[in-house]
Amino acid sequence: MKRTLFPIRFVMLFFTFIHTVNLYIDRAVISAAKDSIVTDLNLTLTEWGWIMASFTLGYALFQTPTGYFADARGPRFVLTFIVIFWSCLTTLTGFMRSFWSMLAVRFFFGAGEAGAFPALSKVAYNWFPLKERGIVQGINFSGSRIGAALALPFVAYLIGLIGWRYSFVFFGVTGIMYAIIWYFVFKDKPEEYKYIGEKEKEYILKTRQQPSPVRTALPFFTMMKSGNLWLAMGQYIASNFTFYFTLSWMYPYLQDRFELGGVEAGFYSSVPLLAGALGNWFSGWLVDRTYSRTKNLTYSRRLPAIIGFSFAAAGMILMLVAESPQVSIIFLSLAIFGADMTLSPSWAFCIDIGKENSGAVSGTMNMAGNLGAFVTIIAFPYLLAWTGDHRVFFFVCSALSILAIIMWLFMKSDKPIQKE
């Protein structure tokens, strides 16, 4: 019998984790480069907001199509293709010379990244036992936060060293190199991986969620009749509305409000992202722990999500009373810890109800969430311009989190979407 010293599925998890690290490094670069780009291209604050939002709009609109793509072609091919595509767009960003060219390239950059998390859902479905699904999702999403946290201070330093344009080239080339490694290491299913031990392969096949005897595509309009999915989409909008503040406006907000230097603001901005990584790990553990104890899919997803949204609502309100960057970061970290606690149960929920069509279902939820993120990026400067008070934005974040708690009370993992 073939044996391995280390479970191969954990090797695959390491590579999916690196995927999400790379994914969010590329996203965070533009936030840290804001001042340099705005000065170089002579942009206004609202124009900058639209550039940031154009990425999110492209990312949102292509979620469902790339989810179907991942279901049909498998995560090995899809992730290789999209990482190369988005890395080329990252490199191209460094050559843009105007508002309109930057707007266009960031839109297509977002479209290129759209398939990443739906494809990773297929990895979780194919490679991991049902009882490990929560922690797998938590680890994968923590990589995105760690990637962004590492990027903010490092990119601020790199821009000072080689300029913002060559910084984008550096990260684009790094992404292409990783895509090549991924293609040669990963296989879509454990049945296709010749180095996996027989005992581990048998364990995965017996304990992962069992597919239907014949896989058939889930029609979009059938999927959209699911009340479960609409609730998942609604609560994910609330989660992203809070989190995307960290990727778009947190760095310049802290820098302007507390008059911080670039590298200093980068270090402060990295703390909530690291808190988000902890939130993902804790939530993933809590999802699996609750399921192991109760064998109740719905409750094991609902409990961590409600706790997370409670923290998010409280943290965004408490942040308003902060009078120093240190206290502000503590409360913002609480909010992001909570918002990221909602990710593992959200994506596990989509796999529960989508099963072998989990790419399309999770992609549709992520589409809705990123339309919420698009609104976040636009709302922050416009609410400030209309009201003259940045606190309005944080009140909206808190209210949406409370609404999401109510939505989770009606979401049921044990009711998968039925094909007609």
Question: For the segment 198-237, what is each residue's pLDDT rounded down to a tens digit?
Answer: 888 888 888 887 665 555 667 888 888 888 999 999 999 9
* CB contact at 8 A, 302 and 408: yes
CATH number at residue 13: 1.20.1250.20
* CB contact at 8 A, 115 and 79: yes
CA distances from 65 to 4, 59, 71, 199, 363 (A): 37, 11, 10, 36, 8
3 belongs to a structural domain: no
Per-residue pLDDT band for 67 (boundaries 50, 70, 90) equals confident
- Tell me the percentage of the chain whose pLDDT exceeds 70: 94
Q: What angle do CA 164, 168, 171 make, to 5 degrees?
A: 135
Of the listed ranges 154-168, 262-276, 346-360, the one predicted with least confidence: 262-276
For residues 280-285, give the mean pLDDT.
Answer: 90
For residues 67-84, give the mean pLDDT.
Answer: 85
59 belongs to a structural domain: yes
Give the global pTM.
Answer: 0.72
First-to-final CA distance of the chain? 43
What are the start-end ranges of the E strands in 162-201?
Answer: none
324 belongs to a structural domain: yes
pLDDT tens-place string over residues 84-130:
998 898 889 889 889 999 999 999 988 888 878 888 888 888 888 87
Domain of 266, in residue numbers: 8-408
414 belongs to a structural domain: no
The region that residue 163 occupies, defined by phi over 0 for left and psi between -120 and 50 for alpha, beta otherwise, is left
415 belongs to a structural domain: no
DSSP state letter for 416: P
CA distances from 6 to 10, 143, 185, 409 (A): 8, 21, 15, 40
pLDDT tens-place string over residues 10-51:
888 888 888 888 777 767 677 778 788 888 889 887 788 888
Structure tokens at 247: 């990727």
413 belongs to a structural domain: no
> 410 phi and psi, to 5 degrees?
-110, 0
Calpha distance 231→237 (Å, rounded): 10
pLDDT (0 to 100) of residue 420? 58
Q: How many domains does the chain have?
A: 1
Higher local confidence (pLDDT), 272 or 5: 272
419 belongs to a structural domain: no
- Tell me the percentage of the chain whose pLDDT exceeds 90: 22
1 belongs to a structural domain: no
Higher local confidence (pLDDT), 151 or 177: 177
